[in-house]
């Protein structure tokens, strides 16, 4: 489905959300949903705010547990794992937060060193420096290595947040609204970075967004969450080839001035 220079193995499913439901009191957020992410794929999950997109990736990473159904990630059923096994699995999952989640009191270098040293305690100083510099170069911000987060632009903070996630070399990336709050030019830069990460680090990714320009640029395949279910999936054009009143205004808001 993609014309990007990536290889997607549609026989290798790395995430399988199987018949999953999640409610908060009387609010039914996800209703018996099924979803698959394939090896090497960028999968975009579209939907309006409050439709359960972020809940979905919190379920996948084990930050929330489903009310029913199973979530299989890299061959392990997340909701059946004990705390130790879940912690080890999370090392293979990179989570890019909306607000970048950087520590304001640490330099860029220290922000990147923190997860590396905490999870790989036997590294030498030279190895740590090499890993930090390599991942910063990968996101195009090696020159910021000694700066504080307060000295960076919003787009730079977003890139550093992604770099900090990549430093553990995850198999899966989960992006939660990666272009939220950014200007249009910076959005294009972040979209390009998501594609670069896919190609350079061979990641499989889920990108949660309501930004259709982002979806169109990064998505190999897309699904749309409507009323707690994945009602539409396919390419960008296939998703929006409909007169469904729940879908058309979404497109019009993004692309019609």
**Amino acid 257: pLDDT:** 43
Nearest to 175 by CA among 137, 217, 133: 217
Nearest to 178 by CA among 95, 251, 96: 96
- Do 34 and 64 lie in one domain? The reply is yes
Last residue of a domain, one of 148, 169, 190: 169
Last residue of a domain, one of 140, 169, 198: 169
pLDDT in tens, 206-215: 999 988 999 9
- Below-50 pLDDT ranges, the chain: 1, 257
Total of domains in the chain: 2
User: DSSP readout, 225-239?
Assistant: EETTEEEEEESHHHH
What is the CATH classification number for the domain harbouring 4? 3.40.50.300
Q: Which long-range contacts (CB under 8 A, 24 or more apart) does 225-228 make?
A: 225/33, 225/45, 225/46, 225/47, 225/51, 225/52, 225/53, 225/56, 226/47, 226/51, 227/31, 227/51, 228/28, 228/29, 228/30, 228/31, 228/33, 228/51, 228/52
**Amino acid 249: pLDDT:** 77
**Amino acid 179: pLDDT:** 92
**Amino acid 208: pLDDT:** 94
**Amino acid 144: pLDDT:** 97
Write out the residue range of the structural domain in which residue 4 sits: 1-92+170-257
Note the residue count of the chain.
257
**Amino acid 254: pLDDT:** 67
Nearest to 190 by CA among 140, 234, 250, 125: 140
User: CA 34, CA 189: separation in Å to the nearest integer?
Assistant: 31
- Do 70 and 112 lie in one domain? The reply is no
Q: What is the pTM of this model?
A: 0.91
pLDDT in tens, 143-170: 999 999 999 999 999 999 999 999 999 9
**Radius of gyration of the CA atoms of the chain, in A:** 18
User: DSSP readout, 12-76?
Assistant: EEEEEEEEEEEEETTEEEEEEEEEEEEET-EEEEE--TTSSHHHHHHHHTTSS--SEEEEEETTE
Last residue of a domain, one of 169, 187, 206: 169
- Do 53 and 9 lie in one domain? The reply is yes
């Amino acid at each position: 489905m993609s014309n990007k220079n990536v290889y997607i193995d549609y026989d290798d499913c790395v995430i399988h959300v199987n018949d999953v439901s999640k409610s908060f009191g009387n609010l039914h957020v996800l209703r018996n949903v099924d979803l698959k992410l394939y090896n090497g794929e960028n999968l975009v999950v579209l939907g309006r705010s409050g439709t359960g997109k972020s809940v979905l990736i919190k379920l996948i990473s084990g930050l929330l547990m489903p009310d029913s159904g199973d979530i299989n990630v890299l061959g392990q059923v997340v909701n059946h794992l004990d705390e130790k096994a879940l912690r080890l699995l999370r090392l293979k999952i990179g989570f890019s937060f909306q607000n970048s989640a950087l520590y304001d009191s640490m330099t860029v270098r220290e922000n990147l060193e923190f997860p590396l040293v905490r999870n790989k305690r036997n590294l030498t100083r030279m190895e740590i420096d090499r890993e930090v510099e390599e991942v910063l170069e990968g996101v195009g911000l090696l020159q910021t290595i000694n700066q504080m987060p307060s000295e960076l632009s919003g787009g730079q903070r977003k890139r550093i947040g992604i770099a900090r996630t990549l430093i553990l070399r995850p198999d899966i990336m989960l992006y939660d609204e990666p272009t939220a709050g950014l200007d249009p030019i910076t959005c294009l830069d972040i979209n390009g970075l998501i594609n670069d990460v896919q190609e350079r680090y061979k990641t499989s990714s889920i990108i949660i967004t309501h930004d259709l320009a982002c979806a169109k640029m990064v998505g190999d395949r897309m699904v749309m969450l409507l009323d707690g279910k994945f009602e539409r999936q396919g390419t960008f054009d296939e998703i929006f080839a409909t007169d469904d009143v729940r879908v058309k205004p979404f497109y019009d808001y993004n692309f019609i001035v």
